[in-house]
Structure formats: C-alpha cells, structure tokens
Amino acid sequence: MSTVAIVDAGIGNLRSVQKAVERASADAQLGWRAVITPDPAEVARADKVIVPGQGAFRDCARALAGGLGEAIRTQVARGTPFYGICLGLQVLFGSSEEAPGLAGLGLFPGTNVELESGRRDPTTGEAVKIPHMGWNRLNLRGGGHPFLSAAGGEGTYVYFTHSFSARPDDSSLIVATAAHGPFTVTAAVARDNVFASQFHPEKSQAAGLSLLAAFLRS
C-alpha cells in the first residue's frame, strides 16, 4: 500500500488532515495509507508528502530547520508529489513578516505579508475582520490547476483561517486567489510536483475531499 506522510512539525490539526486523506482515499477507492510522522527518514521514503500547519510561522520554521526540512526538500527535488496546507504553503517561501529573521524552506522566492487590521471593505465600508476566517470563494488564475478543477473550479467555496498571505516573487506561481475585503489573498500556489493551499481542504467538506482525491491520484 502506498503511503502519504503527513509531516508532524509539532503544530496544526494533524489528525483531522489524516482522517480527511483516509476518507478521500476510501471514497475514491484509491488504497492510500496516511501516516503522521515527525521522522525525517519516514518522510523521505513516503510516496507523497503533506505539510499541514495552523499556528505561528516561527514554530513551523524552527521545526523544519533541521532534518525534517531537508527530507522535504529532497522529496520535492526528486519529484515526489507535495501538498502544503495553510502554514505548509507559507513555509515554502523564504520569510514571513510574522517572524523576521527566521527562514522558511525557501523552495520559492518570496515572503508572507500581514493582512492589516483596521482596513474597511471598499464596497460595504464595514471593518474587515482579521484573521480571515470562514468560507470564501476561489478565483482561478493562469488557468487554475487540475486539483482546483476537481474541487469545483472557479467560484468554489473553501474554508480559510489565517492572518498572513504569501507574496511570491514570481506571481505565476499563484493559481488561485480569494477576495477578503480590500485584500487579494493568495489561495493556492503550484509548480511542477508542488501544490499548496492557504485554505484547509480538511475543513472544506466535499470540495476539500475532491481536491485531496485528485492529489492522491496525481
């Protein structure tokens, strides 16, 4: 049986991601095993890798600064399918305004910027709540991505919870955005075998399960 390594960096909702992957695999009759692991060796030999995360960039960056981070880079370099969720997207970049001086994985040039509190929705005039938390619709860019098409494509509602947004140096990495008041949030990035979403597929009901099934099929 093929294995998906769900990287345990000491943060995030690991069990809910594991259950969602197992559910997506079972529903699609794909036969994948999802294993939560903090072991770099287990990550390095997995058939696919998921890095979830919900919390502080500081904690995630520190957890991935050693062997775990090297195992992830090795897997990405060899072409293993990779999915980063929430902080798992943000840590793909070199830095974040949330934790100056701490480095992410640096797989893509760029940083993560704070969604400033106190801003108002230009349409309604109402104060925009930060964190960006709840359901929001996807706006596809550059043709989107097959995983997003499987989830429902343009306009699909998915679940977000975050206060920072990735800002890649290369904007062609962005395959989906979401509007949150005056902010255009990076909702998903992709290149080659790497896909990552700021939204949580494990909290996005049928759309999220369909996306995870597409990842497992890839």
Given the residues 60, 86, 132, 180, select the one marked as catalytic.
86
Please confirm, yes or no, whether 145 is among the known catalytic residues.
no
Please confirm, yes or no, whether 200 is among the known catalytic residues.
yes
Q: How far is Cα 187 from Cα 178, in angstroms, rounded to an integer?
A: 6
Given the residues 132, 162, 180, 200, select the one marked as catalytic.
200
Q: Cα(first)–Cα(last) distance of the chain, in Å?
A: 16
Q: How far is Cα 134 from Cα 141, in angstroms, rounded to an integer?
A: 21
Given the residues 132, 162, 180, 202, select the one marked as catalytic.
202
Long-range contacts of 204-207 (CB under 8 A, 24+ apart): 204/151, 204/157, 204/158, 204/159, 207/151, 207/152, 207/156, 207/157, 207/158
Please confirm, yes or no, whether 60 is among the known catalytic residues.
no
Structural contact between residues 155 and 179, judged by C-beta atoms closer than 8 angstroms: no
Catalytic residue ranges: 86, 200, 202
